[in-house]
Chain A
Amino acid sequence: MRIFAVKAVPNQEKIMGPWQMVWSRFKKNKVALVGLIILALLVVSAVLAPLLTPYEFDTIDTLSINKPPSLQHLLGTDDLGRDYFTRILYGGRISLQVGLFAVVISVILGSIVGGISGYYGGWLDNILMRLTEIFMSFPFLPLAITVSAIVGNNLPGEYKMYITMMVIGFLSWPGLARIVRGQILSLREQEFMQAATALGLSDTRKIFRHLLPNTVGYIIVYATVGMASAILTESALSFLGLGVVPPTPTWGNLVQFARDSYVLQYRPWLWIPPGLCIFLAVISINLIGDGLRDAIDPKSQR
């Protein structure tokens, strides 16, 4: 048997997978890189919260109520004498977790619905897409408020966090479902899908190993932007007292102090830091999302 054009040269050259290419393009985007650094700092400080502060987030110290920032209490204390810096660190844990898991829920739902809808088409596609449209046509915030008010009312405070995650997650998948469906509609006509059929692969395998990985760029971009908006929504719900409730701190319910006009005027350390955290988290995630969109789309090469 003849074997053509093969030189047995050991391969020294670096092989770049699609992800490495994305990363090398992402690295060139300085703004997005700054976003990544800010987000990393926020995440690290939330994860390492117990190491960064000597206080517990819910220890009430009646002897030091409403203290201004000092060396002992970096950001002062609140009206129950709890160390405010500690509460912000732990609040970051909750806020980021809610954002992350809400997005995970909506990405899972959205890509499954979009994947099935786009792959099978026909009546199934029709039903799923009409369902998606129904979900999309609900005004988001009023619905979220109603649902968390009804469902969350009978639950103890610790579980409110999970309710909030799920409410946000279950209400925000339709956008992704449509994006994924659209992508899959065009991908499934590609020849490599015919090859997959010819190889006798199962439908599940075709959807999850061939089609969805090719939409992963869109999913990631959607997820980053979705996470930013989930954090914002959580803050809004918590601010209204319908999301996570004290004593569990989140950035959203910490901003609640601003509702008191005395605090607003004379104790800015109670509302500026958590507000700033929300702002930094959201803007850095959005910057990362923008950077990823440019990095993943091969047409946007500079």
Chain B
Amino acid sequence: MPKQLLEVRNLKKYFPVKSGFLKKTTSFVKAVDNISFKIDKGETLGLVGESGCGKTTVGRSILRLIEPTSGEVFFNDESILIKNKQAMRSLRRDMQIIFQDPYSSLNPRMTVSEIVGEALVAHKLYKKGKEVKDKVAEIVEICGLARYHMNRYPHQFSGGQRQRIGIARALALNPTFIVADEPVSALDVSIQSQILNLMMDLQESMGLGYLFISHDLSVVKHISHKIGVMYLGSLVELADKNELYNNPIHPYTRALLSVIPIPDPTIKKKSIQISGEIPSNVNVPKGCKFHTRCPMAKEICRTKTPEFKDIGNNHFVACHFASQNQCPWQQMNDEENNKPV
């Protein structure tokens, strides 16, 4: 039985929208709206969704880089949102983040060994000088860089190498949990797989738990054990990887999965089109958030918010028709499948 590493309960982050001369708060951007999930030790939860759906805000709220509006985050069964600044700082050793942009996430005025080693010195884990140097060299080599890279500056590296530096920095404090915020989306496809494999190797050897944020479904499929699909600040579906890919329930998930390209031109695949734009997260649609774009929306979807519930097999879905066998969406697919070609 793997032990639970992180639990997020009803996490919310509303950004106030201020306007007018007196900077009055007129409304809120509901970037993250009532999200709950769990991550076990050594497990990867992939978080997917289109841009602007609040994936990044979730990651940063968990680490308290952004203060969440409400909700609870338990890390190793400790509630971290109530911790003060001092306690939080020592806790940060165990939870780290890898950023999307390998260019702005490294301080241009520090060498690699300063970037990676700084936290070791700041937390007084190692003595300044040779001890830190040796430790940094070890980490840097684990991350696939060479010892002689240590005295270089970030601008002397390629994007992929910079991302390795970012990973090395995150690993330096020997964390147990890492938020990977689109770590490969700024990289070349050929480099992406290298970085993903590195991350998976590290997970194996160090028992890391990842929250892997991405908009790339094939990347998420490659690395994750569980996958959560986000739409407009909320999770619409959360399940084990194979369960989600083989048996997607929520219409949004189905639409997303249907557009993954298959590298075989002979297979004809019907992609499900979703019309319209993602609604603004200031004026969130009432009822089910997806009803404005859902081809199967019924009256109930416009009025009642669907519950995010387990339909068995640890498969959570927020759709009114999830548990019914007669899901209209499924029906439509079945009809199409049964048509003589």
Contact = CB atoms under 8 A, between A and B. Distances in A.
B122 A201 contact: yes
B104 A191 contact: yes
Contact of A214 (B93, B100, B108, B166): B108
Interface in A162-204: 190-192, 194-202
A15 B157 CA distance: 12
B279 interface: no
Contacts of A299: none
Given A3-B141, A17-B153, A198-B65, A190 B104 contact: yes
A195 B146 contact: no
A37 B191 CA distance: 49
Interface stretch (A5-13, A49-57, A256-264): A5-13
Interface string A107-151: 000000000000000000000000000000000000000000000
Contacts, number: 98
A191 to B, nearest CB: 4
B201 A200 contact: no
Contact of B152 (A15, A194, A205): A15
A30 interface: no
B145 interface: yes
B119 interface: yes
B118 A192 contact: no
**Range for the number of chain A residues in contact with chain B:** 20 to 34
A18 interface: yes
Contacts of A214: 107-109
Given A195-B169, A210-B107, A200 B93 contact: yes
Contacts of A202: 89, 122
A207 to B, nearest CB: 13
A4 B90 CA distance: 32
27 contacts: A1-B205, A2-B197, A5-B144, A6-B141, A6-B146, A15-B153, A16-B156, A17-B111, A18-B109, A191-B100, A191-B101, A191-B104, A192-B104, A192-B107, A194-B97, A195-B169, A198-B63, A198-B65, A198-B97, A198-B170, A199-B173, A200-B91, A200-B123, A201-B119, A202-B89, A214-B109, A216-B109
Interface of A: 1-8, 10-11, 15-18, 190-192, 194-202, 205, 209-210, 213-214, 216
